[in-house]
Structure 1
Amino acid sequence: MEDKDNQQQEIDKLVNELHDVVRQLLRLMRQEVSLYDLSMSQVSVIAKLDVPGGLTGAELARAEGVKPQSMSSTVASLEKLGLIQRQPDPADGRRIVLSLTEAGLEARRNRLAAKQVWLHSVIEQLSPAERQELKRGLELLGRISR
């Protein structure tokens, strides 16, 4: 019984540590790779709109897991910044399609490139043994995330 309790405590500790590390890593990435000081919801919308043909407001809201009304202020703010645009749907002129502008595409590319540079610089500082540990840890994370 005590062995099972110890296992449960170890699992609980790992769950908490994993949560903390993921949260910290995301926070660091947001700090290191700022994009026009955009909110995470704005950054997420830009990522979702990086598809051929764009998305309607309803499709975007569904992809983000929010109601279309909730999406309207995020869309309006990105449109005001010149990062997204509205256009009639070529297949159905009654619908409006949201897509990235050239500035939006450039911002997305810059953000992705900055993430790569930052992660590369962090990993480069690890010893070869630490990189092997990281590789094994990523394999495990990949396995549990499937």
Structure 2
Amino acid sequence: MSRIEPDRIDDALIALRRILRATELHERDLAQSVGLTPAKLRVLQLLAGKGTGSATPTELARHMGVRQATVTTLVDQLEKLGYVSRHRSSSDRRQMLISVTQAGADALRNAPNALQQQFVHGFAKLADWEQAMLIAGLERVASMLNAGEIDASPVLATGDIRTGRPR
């Protein structure tokens, strides 16, 4: 094992803390501006991005990389806010479709730029080798924190994805 420079440890921990803090601040801004968590915002974004304007809970779960039960909880909460509606498919009555309401579209339009969108724009500007190195480094950090097997979606949030509260 190589000798670790104390300054490098501090630099790494500071960088991790900055990432966590940026995520926390974004969540607070999002909640204050439109009353949403990043996961709920992502559901609205996915629905709004569909050509049909609606999707099944299974489709949403697959796109978000979470279980269908998690999506059901998020949709229940969005429906209580009046941001989405549920209706049966006209082609398959067994299938439930989720659609964005006008209130949901308004909330989406008024939401601050999602933190992950900022990341995506910056990440896309990196060369292929830089992207690969960054992914490898982040995966290594997740492994070092025993977080490699934690169920996670591509939503930058600090709490439980279903509730938005810290775990």
**What is the alpha-carbon root mean square deviation over aligned residues?**
3.3
Which of 26, 29, 32 is the aligned partner of 1:32? 29
What are the ranges of 5 or more consecutive residues in structure 2 without an aligned counterpart? 114-120, 133-167
Contact 2:27 2:37 in 1 (8 A): no
Instruction: Indicate yes or no: 2:91 matched with 1:95.
Output: no
Contact 2:57 2:71 in 1 (8 A): yes
Which structure has more RCO (C-alpha within 8 Å, separation ≥ 6)?
2
Which of 17, 20, 40 is the aligned partner of 1:20? 17
Q: CA deviation at 1:71?
A: 2.3
Q: Name the CA distance, whole Å, in 1 between partners of 2:79 and 2:102.
A: 12
Give the partner amino acid of 1:15.
A
Which structure's residues are more often helix, by fraction?
1
Change (3 A) 1:5 1:19: closer
Aligned twin of 2:48: 50
Aligned twin of 2:165: none
Give the partner amino acid of 1:49.
L
What are the ranges of 5 or more consecutive residues in structure 1 without an aligned counterpart? 117-137
| The structure with more radius of gyration | 1
Give the partner amino acid of 2:40.
Q
Q: Percent identity?
A: 24
Change (3 A) 1:27 1:83: same
Q: Name the CA distance, whole Å, in 1 between partners of 2:83 and 2:96.
A: 16
Q: Normalising by the residue count of structure 2, what TM-score does the alignment of the two structures yield? A: 0.56
Change (3 A) 1:94 1:19: same
Change (3 A) 1:142 1:13: farther
